[in-house]
Amino acid sequence: MNKVYNFSAGPAILPREAMEAGSRACLEFQGMGLSLLEISHRSTEYQQVVTDACAIVKELLGVPDGYTVMFLQGGASLQFAMAPMNILGDTETAAYVDTGVWAAKAIKEARLFGNVEVLASSKDANYNFIPKDYTVPAAARYLHLTSNNTIYGTQLQSFPSVAVPLVCDMSSDIFSRPVDVSKFGLIYAGAQKNMGIAGTTLVIIREDWLGLGKRKLPSMLDYKLHADAGSMYNTPPAFAVYMALETLKWVKAEGGVAAMQKRNEEKAAALYAEIDANPLFKGTSALEDRSRMNITFVMEKPELEKEFLKEAETAGLSGLKGHRSVGGFRASIYNAMGLDGVQALVTLMRDFATRHAA
Amino acid sequence: MNKVYNFSAGPAILPREAMEAGSRACLEFQGMGLSLLEISHRSTEYQQVVTDACAIVKELLGVPDGYTVMFLQGGASLQFAMAPMNILGDTETAAYVDTGVWAAKAIKEARLFGNVEVLASSKDANYNFIPKDYTVPAAARYLHLTSNNTIYGTQLQSFPSVAVPLVCDMSSDIFSRPVDVSKFGLIYAGAQKNMGIAGTTLVIIREDWLGLGKRKLPSMLDYKLHADAGSMYNTPPAFAVYMALETLKWVKAEGGVAAMQKRNEEKAAALYAEIDANPLFKGTSALEDRSRMNITFVMEKPELEKEFLKEAETAGLSGLKGHRSVGGFRASIYNAMGLDGVQALVTLMRDFATRHAA
């Protein structure tokens, strides 16, 4: 079988090394004569997985002292509620920027727990840019941002310097570049885009944001209980945490997040260059907000889109169909996508344009 | 390497066939040229996994019409809160029976959402029996039970016939025997004991219990949203659901839950017979409540327990150490444990007793 390049938005491409480690661990783990899937989460061997996974997150992102790293369940969708539930008091105000449907869902959940001020929204432009012209109220408990908007192909090129701590959903670009964690009160990310498989959620939180006592919380929704238990308040999603560890070990071996950033910029530049030069294609997001993770584009002649997609599938370029709300194409080029995959796509785009020259 | 028999309480032994299917799927799934770990949850191939997993649950348990089957995240621990949050009104009363620390945790979470009446508790006897002498208030919204108490080795031999619907945590014995689902308003079970790996939770709920509107719920905690979305409200824990499917396919191939019950009774009978006959060992739970999943026992001469455990490990009998609150030993003999594993343990117990005869 020919190699398939996986451009899926998430669950998404993983390093081959991580998938092979996962495959082996399903049969036998650490010479125990047992599979990773069937061992106690309290075993020495599994405790080490969680310890190592938290440690490599801290190392790769340079997480400063005073922060706790946890692996939870429920995806970013549960964090949309857990964050305000733990941090925002009934009468306090949180500031949000609406940059896509995921940001809008975060806003909806936060409204259950306190006052929410939406500082800016690009909804009227189908979220094709990231609003940056807003003032954060000094009394805001936090400013919530979505660092990368998977559906629309927009990404914050840098994080604003504001007087309040940031809360950020980094589900689709975490570990794609260095981040100054000290700006954030809370960072969360579903693992299944750039750091592993579906089923676990990374949470990085300021320790002084644990146990704020804003309201009575169900135990599973209390950051402090999870932190105190070292991500083991109840049985963790053991295999998903292991896959995050193996994925991050690969990131480290490849040079860490600075090396990822260099590669991601190179891949994105190659693809955007083709989109801009090729007469058949055009990008959908504002130039200054273009994502380096999810590259969205459409055709000048929409009637040809189906044919291009079919040719792409035949050529082993999988998962390129755009989200229905944007249409066209979306190439998700997360860390594990090599430049060769991008080049294969660029080659097809050129070839297709030549064959369909007016 | 010699075969290792895995007596862990959970995560626990799985059918070899399921672990091998998982290992293969990590590398390549359904001829897609892609790993199951990296494909979209919206792909036809993965949608089929979820559809099949829900269907085989319905088939194996004979789930009647009017019930919805879902795979969620968060374990039974999150269900402790989700159940009352969705079903119990602020001024309504739910009845609970306290049969162990997990039941006690369910009680604690329910108290956040309504009135909780604890009808009976065996806490004073270190939960070594299941109280059955209680009256359920006619006005109770539901009666909450824990079908099997992993730590203490007790199990409900049958479910009481009461005038209110049952809510039951079946985490550690689901699919070990037939169950009359129509008695239940809600059944939930963390997958990692008898039906798969850690990271997904099975929920079976009466459809008229969806969307009761008792309170404003965060989306991820609303059974109705998950039901309407077919367990796909957000990205599901894809690999964990696949492993549940593969485990349940094995249960079906082996003859279904009636066949499992027969085998589990046979295995438990063999082990309890040895515990009762062997002068060195004694059971810890009340005879009439003895679990067929987790068999707890201690030694007449506690000073020999360490030595026995060491010999067991050497003989490839893993995970036999009892929970600290009971001490001694716990042999978890879930569906996937064969009679050969139990016989290996019985043989060691006999041999050990002979060598240590007074």
pLDDT reading at B1 higher than 80: no
CATH architecture of A16-253: 3-Layer(aba) Sandwich (3.40)
Minimal Cβ distance to A38: which of B8, B218, B234 = B8
What is the percent of chain A with per-residue pLDDT over 90, rounded to a whole number? 98
Disruptive mutation site among B197, B217, B231, B335 for chain A (greatest number of A CBs within 10 Å): B197
pLDDT reading at A100 higher than 70: yes
3-class state of residue B268 by DSSP: helix
pLDDT digits (tens, 9 = 90+) for A137-189: 999 999 999 999 999 999 999 999 999 999 999 999 999 999 999 999 999 99
Nearest residue on chain B to A201, alpha-carbon basis: B237
pLDDT at B248: 98
What is the percent of chain A with per-residue pLDDT over 70, rounded to a whole number? 99
CA dist B300 and B278 (Å) reads: 10
pLDDT reading at A8 higher than 90: yes
Nearest residue on chain A to B72, alpha-carbon basis: A74
pLDDT at A358: 65
pLDDT reading at B272 higher than 90: yes
Minimal Cβ distance to A238: which of B19, B197, B234 = B197
Cβ of B108 and A219 within 8 Å?
yes
E-strand ranges in chain B read 5-6, 67-72, 93-98, 115-121, 143-146, 148-149, 154-155, 166-169, 184-190, 201-206, 281-283, 294-299, 317-318, 329-332
Minimal Cβ distance to A77: which of B80, B219, B319 = B219
Minimal Cβ distance to A26: which of B11, B26, B80 = B26
pLDDT reading at B21 higher than 90: yes
CA dist A322 and A295 (Å) reads: 9
CA dist A13 and A8 (Å) reads: 7
Going by the DSSP 8-state scheme, the letter that residue A191 receives in this structure is T
pLDDT reading at A229 higher than 60: yes
Minimal Cβ distance to B216: which of A19, A35, A112 = A112
Minimal Cβ distance to A40: which of B8, B33, B234 = B8
The alpha-carbon gap from A8 to the nearest alpha carbon of chain B, in Å, equals: 6
B90 touches chain A (CB under 8 A): no
Minimal Cβ distance to A19: which of B35, B80, B199 = B35
CA dist B279 and B357 (Å) reads: 9
pLDDT digits (tens, 9 = 90+) for B121-139: 999 999 999 999 999 999 9
* CA distances from residue A275 to A5, A264, B295 in whole angstroms, order as listed: 19, 16, 65
Contact (CB, 8 A) for B155 and B293: yes
Torsion of CA A122, A277, A304, A334, to 10 degrees: -60
pLDDT at A266: 98
For residue B80, list chain A residues with Cβ-Cβ distance below 8 A: 218-220
Percent helix, strand, coil in chain B (nearest 5)?
40, 20, 40
**b/e code A273-304 from CB counts within 10 Å (16+ = b):** ebbeebebbebbbeeebbbbbbbbbbbeeeee
B165 touches chain A (CB under 8 A): no
CATH top-level class of A255-355: alpha beta
pLDDT at B2: 64
For residue B221, list chain A residues with Cβ-Cβ distance below 8 A: 81
pLDDT at B333: 98
What is the percent of chain B with per-residue pLDDT over 90, rounded to a whole number? 99
pLDDT reading at B318 higher than 80: yes
Nearest residue on chain A to B33, alpha-carbon basis: A4
pLDDT reading at B358 higher than 70: no
pLDDT at A2: 64
Cβ of A233 and B12 within 8 Å?
no
Domain extents in chain A:
16-253, 255-355
Indicate the pairing of strand A93-98 with strand B5-6: unpaired
A114 touches chain B (CB under 8 A): no
pLDDT reading at B161 higher than 90: yes
pLDDT digits (tens, 9 = 90+) for A265-299: 999 999 999 999 999 999 999 999 999 999 999 99
Maximum CA extent, chain A: 66
For residue A236, list chain B residues with Cβ-Cβ distance below 8 A: 198
The alpha helices in chain A, defined as continuous H runs, are 16-25, 44-61, 75-87, 101-110, 223-228, 238-253, 256-277, 305-314, 339-355
CA dist B322 and B283 (Å) reads: 12
At CA B240, angle to CA B156 and CA A42, rounded to 5?
65
A40 touches chain B (CB under 8 A): yes
A11 touches chain B (CB under 8 A): yes
pLDDT at B158: 97
B316 touches chain A (CB under 8 A): yes
For residue B330, list chain A residues with Cβ-Cβ distance below 8 A: none
pTM of the model as a whole: 0.98
CA dist A120 and A130 (Å) reads: 9
pLDDT at B58: 98
Residue B3 binned pLDDT confidence (cut-offs 50, 70, 90): confident
pLDDT reading at A71 higher than 60: yes
Question: Nearest to residue B218, comparing CAs of A89, A83, A198?
Answer: A83
CATH of B256-355, one of 3.30.365.10, 3.40.50.150, 3.90.1150.10, 3.20.10.10: 3.90.1150.10
10 Å Cβ neighbour count for B159?
Answer: 15
For residue B240, list chain A residues with Cβ-Cβ distance below 8 A: 199, 237, 239-240
pLDDT reading at A16 higher than 60: yes
Mean pLDDT, rounded, for B4-14:
96
For residue A242, list chain B residues with Cβ-Cβ distance below 8 A: none
Residues 328-357 of B with CB under 8 A from A: none
For residue A76, list chain B residues with Cβ-Cβ distance below 8 A: 234
Indicate the pairing of strand B148-149 with strand B154-155: antiparallel
Mean pLDDT, rounded, for B217-232:
97
For residue B71, list chain A residues with Cβ-Cβ distance below 8 A: none
Cβ of A74 and B197 within 8 Å?
no
For residue A22, list chain B residues with Cβ-Cβ distance below 8 A: 26, 37
Complex ipTM value: 0.98
A78 touches chain B (CB under 8 A): yes
Mean pLDDT, rounded, for A81-85:
98
The residues of A assigned a catalytic role are 102, 169, 193
Instruction: State the average pLDDT for chain B.
Output: 97
Indicate the pairing of strand A143-146 with strand B93-98: unpaired
The answer to whether domain B16-253 and domain B256-355 are alike in fold is no
Nearest residue on chain B to A194, alpha-carbon basis: B38
pLDDT at B357: 84
Cβ of A197 and B9 within 8 Å?
no
What is the interface size between A and B, counted as CB pairs within 8 Å?
A: 200
The alpha helices in A111-255, defined as continuous H runs, are 223-228, 238-253
Residue A113 binned pLDDT confidence (cut-offs 50, 70, 90): very high
Nearest residue on chain B to A237, alpha-carbon basis: B199
B93 touches chain A (CB under 8 A): no
Minimal Cβ distance to A77: which of B6, B33, B220 = B220
Q: Which residue in this structure is represented by tokens 């117990």? A: B349
Phi, psi (rounded to 5 degrees) for A86: -85, -30
Mean pLDDT, rounded, for B278-298:
98
Question: Which is it for the CA torsion B213, B216, B218, B221, positive or negative?
Answer: negative
pLDDT at A357: 84
For residue B9, list chain A residues with Cβ-Cβ distance below 8 A: 40
A322 touches chain B (CB under 8 A): no
Cβ of A33 and B4 within 8 Å?
yes
